[in-house]
Chains A and B, each alone.
Chain A
């Protein structure tokens, strides 16, 4: 298996633009997690899905953030409109059971 796949790997955009991050989990995994990592706050859970259904989105910072999982092999995290404080590395992870497997992350810079 190729592991968790994320795209794009890097994204530079201007404030106010829409940003869409994509994730393909490991085949067969039934949980999918979106995290944000910054130096100041470490790794923060934004939202997670079980069998494509959002379970807990309490970590989503505000209404500008939304996430979807239309099927078992694809998820998106959208930021609209983006702001400079959204600059961070966004990770997707999937799991079947206890251990989570992380993707390589998307490094987002909002100017």
Chain B
């Protein structure tokens, strides 16, 4: 079983839709949860970072962690064509240690 599972999609939504992206994991030691956004032919860039359980909101983006279910989510409200990218979840048990990445979900927001 992989450490982190993520549905690769692709996911295609109309502009303005609410998008839900998810990852599951198996290692209960994970404490740090990140979402990265990767545009085509670019490196991943950090979008959101959450420590332990709970929600974190940043503009149109909300990251949610449910450690009891080993499940994390990223919600995008009022999606825009500029949100079209691949979204990767990542997690770690300690600062600076090895990160475990999901395979990424490809999202297209249609104008």
Q: How many B residues touch A, CB cutoff 8 Å?
A: 22
Among A66-74, A77-85, A98-106, the stretch that binds chain B is A98-106
Q: Are A42 and B101 in contact (CB under 8 A)?
A: yes
Asked if B71 is at the interface (CB within 8 A of a chain A CB), the reply is no
Asked if A97 is at the interface (CB within 8 A of a chain B CB), the reply is yes
**Contacting residues of chain A (1-60) with chain B, CB-CB under 8 angstroms:** 4, 30-31, 33, 41-43, 45, 48, 50, 56
Among B44-52, B61-69, B74-82, the stretch that binds chain A is B44-52
In the complex the two chains form, what is the Cα distance from A101 to B88 in whole Å? 14
Q: Are A101 and B46 in contact (CB under 8 A)?
A: yes
Q: B41, B42, B98, B103: which contacts A42 (Cβ < 8 A)?
A: B103
Q: Are A43 and B42 in contact (CB under 8 A)?
A: no
Task: Give A107's nearest chain B residue, CB to CB.
Answer: B41
Q: Are B104 and A97 in contact (CB under 8 A)?
A: no
List the A side residues contacting B103 at CB < 8 Å. Answer: 41-43
**Contacting residues of chain B (7-65) with chain A, CB-CB under 8 angstroms:** 32, 34, 36, 41-46, 49, 51
A109 to chain B, nearest CB (A): 14
Task: Give A105's nearest chain B residue, CB to CB.
Answer: B43
Q: Are A97 and B96 in contact (CB under 8 A)?
A: yes
Asked if B1 is at the interface (CB within 8 A of a chain A CB), the reply is no
List the B side residues contacting A31 at CB < 8 Å. Answer: 96
Q: Are A43 and B98 in contact (CB under 8 A)?
A: no
Assuming the A-B contacts A43-B88, A98-B49, A99-B34, are A91 and B99 also in contact, with contact meaning beta carbons closer than 8 angstroms in the complex? no
Contact indicator per residue, chain B 70-111, by CB within 8 Å of chain A (1) or not (0) = 000000000000000000101010011011011110000000
Write the residues of chain B forming the contact surface with A, with a CB cutoff of 8 angstroms: 32, 34, 36, 41-46, 49, 51, 88, 90, 92, 95-96, 98-99, 101-104
Known: A33-B99, A102-B43, A105-B43. 13 other contacts (CB 8 A): A42-B102, A43-B101, A45-B98, A45-B99, A97-B95, A97-B96, A98-B51, A98-B96, A99-B34, A99-B49, A100-B99, A101-B46, A103-B43
Write the residues of chain A forming the contact surface with B, with a CB cutoff of 8 angstroms: 4, 30-31, 33, 41-43, 45, 48, 50, 56, 91, 93, 95, 97-105, 107
